[in-house]
Chains A and B, each alone.
Chain A
Amino acid sequence: MRRGMLWLAAGFVGNGFAQFLQKYLHAAGLGHYQASALIAMYATGSLFALALLAGFQGRLRGIEFASGLGIGLCSYLGNFAVLRALGDLPAYTVFPVVVGGPIILVALYSWLIMGERRSWQARAGIGCGLVAVVLLTL
C-alpha cells in the first residue's frame, strides 16, 4: 500500500507539472498551437514510454494493445471534447464538471459495480477532494 501511495504521488506530480506547463505554453504566446502541442506531447510521451519499455524489459501483448488503444482513445477524445466545450462555455463551467465528474462516476463505479467498501477516511477524502476540485476550478 505504501508503494501504491508513492506511485500515486508520481501520478500527482507528473499530471500537475504537465498542467502547469500547459499554462506556461499560453504565457509564452503559443496558446494557438494547441493541435501541435498535443502532437508534440503525445509523441514525446511515446518515446519516453518506449525507452521505459526497453529499459525495464516490459511486454507488448494483445492485452496491452487492446487496453492501451482504449486508454489512448479516451485520453484524446476527452481532451478534444474539453477544447470543443471551451468554444461554447466558459472555463468556470467546463473545468469543475470535467475534473469533478469523473471523481463521482468512478467512486460510484467502485461502490456499485466493484462492490468496494471504503473506510470513513477514504469516503471523507473523496468528498473533500470533490469540494477542492470545484473550488479550485471555479
Chain B
Amino acid sequence: MGILFVLFAVLCFSALYVLVERSQKCKADPMGLNLVAFAAAALFSVVAAGGIRSGHFPGLLLAIGGIIGLSAGLGLLGITLAVRSGLSISIVNTGVSLSLVVPIVLSLAIYGEVPGARKAVGLAFAAASILLIQRERR
C-alpha cells in the first residue's frame, strides 16, 4: 500500500508543475494564483484535521509553522515567476528539487552535522547540476 501512496505523491507533485506551466501559458496572475493555492490547501488541511482546536497549536508551533508558510509562499511564487519568465518547467523542477541541499548546509552551519560520503557526493552533483543549468542558453 505504501508504494501506491509514493506513486500517487509523484503524480501529484508532477501535476503541480504542469498546472503552474499551463496557468502561466494562460497568463494567470502569479499573486492571485499563489493566494488561491495556499487558501485551498489551508482549507483542505483544516477539513482533513477535522477542524481547529486551540490546544493543538502551541505558541512555538505557530511561530515555526508561520515562518515555514512564509518560506513556502516565497518558494511557490519563485517557481511561478520563473516559469512566467520563460524557464522550462523541467529546469525549474530540477532546480527547486535541489533545495534539499539547503537543510544539509544549514544543519552543517548551525548544528555542526557533517554530511557523510554519500551526501558529500550528492552535494557535488547538486553543484554541478546548478552550474550546468545556469550555463544553458549563454
Interface centre among B74, B101, B126 (most CB of A within 10 A): B74
Find out whether the CB atom of B31 lies under 8 angstroms from the CB atom of A56.
Answer: yes
Is the C-beta of B67 less than 8 angstroms from some C-beta in chain A? yes
Q: Please pick, from A69, A82, A103, A137, the residue contacting B40 in the complex, using a CB distance under 8 A.
A: A69
Asked if residues A58 and B102 are in contact (CB atoms below 8 Å), the reply is: no
- Inter-chain contacts of B46 with A (CB < 8 A): 39
| B29 & A73 in contact (Cβ 8 Å cutoff) | no
Number of B positions contacting A (CB below 8 A): 110
Chain B: which residue is nearest A137 at the CB level?
B100
Contact B32 A136 (CB under 8 A): no
Are A1 and B86 closer than 8 Å at their CB atoms? yes
Contacts A36-B65, A39-B46, A73-B44; A14 near B98 (Cβ below 8 A): no
- CB within 8 Å of A: which of B77-134? 77-79, 81-82, 84-104, 106-107, 118-119, 121-123, 125-126, 128-134
Q: Which of A64, A81, A137 is in CB contact (< 8 Å) with B8?
A: A81
CB-based A-B contact count at 8 angstroms: 448
What is the minimal beta-carbon distance from B7 to any residue of chain A, in angstroms? Answer: 8
Given contacts A75-B37, A119-B136, contact A36 B56 (CB under 8 A): yes
**B8 to A77, Cβ gap below 8 A?**
yes
- Contact: B77 with A129, CB < 8 Å? no
Closest residue of chain B to A82, judged by CB?
A: B9
> Beta-carbon contacts of A33-47 to B below 8 Å, as 1s and 0s?
101111111111111
Interface range on chain A (Cβ under 8 Å from partner): 35 or more
- Is B28 in contact with A116, judged by CB distance below 8 angstroms? no
- By the criterion CB–CB under 8 Å, are B101 and A11 in contact? no
Give the residues in chain B near A132, CB-CB below 8 Å.
98, 100-101, 122-123, 125-126, 128-129
The smallest beta-carbon distance between A35 and chain B, in angstroms, is 4
Known contacts A118-B88, A119-B137, A121-B135; is A21 also within 8 Å of B68 by CB? Answer: yes
27 contacts between A and B (CB under 8 A): A3-B85, A4-B81, A8-B91, A10-B78, A17-B71, A18-B75, A21-B68, A25-B68, A35-B48, A39-B45, A40-B65, A42-B41, A53-B35, A58-B29, A64-B28, A68-B35, A71-B20, A102-B14, A102-B97, A107-B90, A122-B132, A126-B91, A128-B129, A130-B94, A132-B125, A132-B128, A135-B121
Q: Kindly list 14 other residue pairs between chains A and B, CB separation below 8 angstroms, not including A5-B82, A17-B102.
A: A11-B75, A11-B96, A14-B76, A22-B68, A33-B61, A64-B32, A71-B40, A85-B3, A85-B9, A103-B90, A106-B90, A118-B136, A126-B133, A130-B94
3 closest residue pairs by CB, A with B: A16-B102, A68-B36, A40-B65
